[in-house]
């Protein structure tokens, strides 16, 4: 349907593509190379590998859209939790777990982490009941479960629903930095720009609660490499966290405390 919005953004896209082509005297060979990259990204894109999204992300496009989407109530004392890109490895229908459960299976590690905190309304500070935290991160080999035939289905993913006190807690791992898949078009683009493919260690969250704006975000380990030069530009200061050595819990070597603050629509 040709809505006014679609007409406007399509015309603008065409104008910018023409300007880009003219300003750079794009040759037939260069144009064909660009086409081939797009076709290859299309051929490679499936459930396990969102190559098209990966290409946009190394251009910083998803992060730009995220910044445009995240508008602050500027007169508020506090701010809602900063957002960050979803990335290509989210999966719907992660297991629904109970507080205190562990999302790790079949992995020996000395980086086991107890993560906990509260989900609150950022204006009132009150806890939010019925908030669903959808969490996912990579294994120590740097692979998400769907990229790795050696991990059980839905490993390192889970959904947790808060009760009246808004609190959540679960066991996960302290993640590691890892390279985004770079054997395809996204990798070619990085190479052409002399850029590395690494992302700092991070844990993803998608948090939903009735009446509140969903939060898509990631938190980053302060000790990780690549905080300053994330291949997909997702790091924000307020999302950098500290994994603190944790004694007396046979299930964890680190503790991680983080509160999520949500805004109403």
Contact residues: ligand DHB, CB under 6 A: 54, 57, 62, 85, 87-89, 180, 199, 232
Nearer to Fe ion, 87 or 181 (CB): 87
Burial environment of residue 4 by CB neighbours within 10 A (0 to 12, 13 to 18, 19 or more): exposed
For residue 18, what is the enclosing H or E element? helix 4-23
Please give the Cα distance from 173 to 170 (Å, whole number). 10
Smallest gap from Cβ 9 to Fe ion, in A, equals 28
* Closer Cβ to Fe ion, 87 or 166, answer by number: 87
Instruction: Answer whether 177's CB lies under 8 Å from 225's CB.
Output: yes
User: What sections of 97-214 are H helices per DSSP?
Assistant: 185-192
* Residues between 101 and 130 that touch Fe ion (CB under 5 A): none
| Contact partner at residue 85 from ligand DHB, Fe ion, none, CB < 5 to 8 Å by partner kind | ligand DHB
Q: In a 3-state reduction of DSSP, which class is residue 198? A: strand
b/e code 150-172 from CB counts within 10 Å (16+ = b)? ebeebbbbbbbbbeeebebebbb
Rounded Cα distance, 174 and 252, in Å:
10
197 binds Fe ion (CB under 5 A): no
Q: Is 87 in the site for Fe ion (CB under 5 A)?
A: yes
Q: Does 181 bind Fe ion (CB under 5 A)?
A: no
Smaller CB distance to ligand DHB: residue 80 or 197? Answer: 197
Residue 37 CB, shortest distance to ligand DHB, in Å, is 15
Return the one option of Fe ion, ligand DHB, none that residue 88 interacts with (CB less than 5 to 8 A, by type): ligand DHB
Q: Tell me which residues touch Fe ion (CB under 5 A).
A: 87
């Amino acid at each position: 349907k040709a809505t006014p919005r679609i007409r406007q953004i399509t015309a603008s896209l065409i104008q910018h593509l023409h300007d880009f082509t003219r300003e750079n005297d794009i040759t037939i060979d260069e144009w064909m190379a660009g086409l081939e990259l797009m076709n290859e990204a299309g051929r490679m894109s499936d459930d396990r590998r969102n190559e098209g999204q990966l290409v946009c992300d190394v251009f910083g496009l998803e992060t730009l859209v995220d910044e445009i989407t995240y508008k602050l109530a500027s007169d508020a004392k506090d701010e809602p939790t900063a957002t960050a890109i979803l990335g290509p490895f989210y999966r719907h229908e992660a297991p629904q777990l109970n507080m205190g459960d562990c999302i790790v299976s079949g992995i020996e590690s000395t980086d086991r982490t107890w993560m906990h905190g509260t989900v609150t309304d950022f204006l009132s500070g009150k806890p939010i009941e019925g908030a669903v935290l959808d969490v996912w991160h990579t294994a120590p080999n740097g692979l998400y479960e769907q990229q790795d035939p050696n991990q059980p289905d839905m490993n390192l993913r889970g959904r947790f629903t808060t009760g009246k006190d808004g609190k959540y807690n679960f066991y996960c791992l302290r993640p590691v930095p890892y390279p985004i898949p770079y054997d395809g078009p996204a990798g070619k683009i990085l190479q052409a720009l002399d850029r590395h493919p690494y992302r700092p260690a991070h844990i993803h969250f998608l948090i939903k609660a009735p009446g509140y704006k969903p939060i898509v975000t990631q938190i980053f380990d302060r000790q990780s490499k690549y905080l300053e030069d994330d291949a997909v530009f997702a790091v924000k200061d307020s999302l950098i966290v500290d994994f603190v050595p944790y004694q007396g819990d046979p299930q964890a070597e680190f503790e991680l405390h983080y509160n999520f603050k949500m805004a109403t629509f």
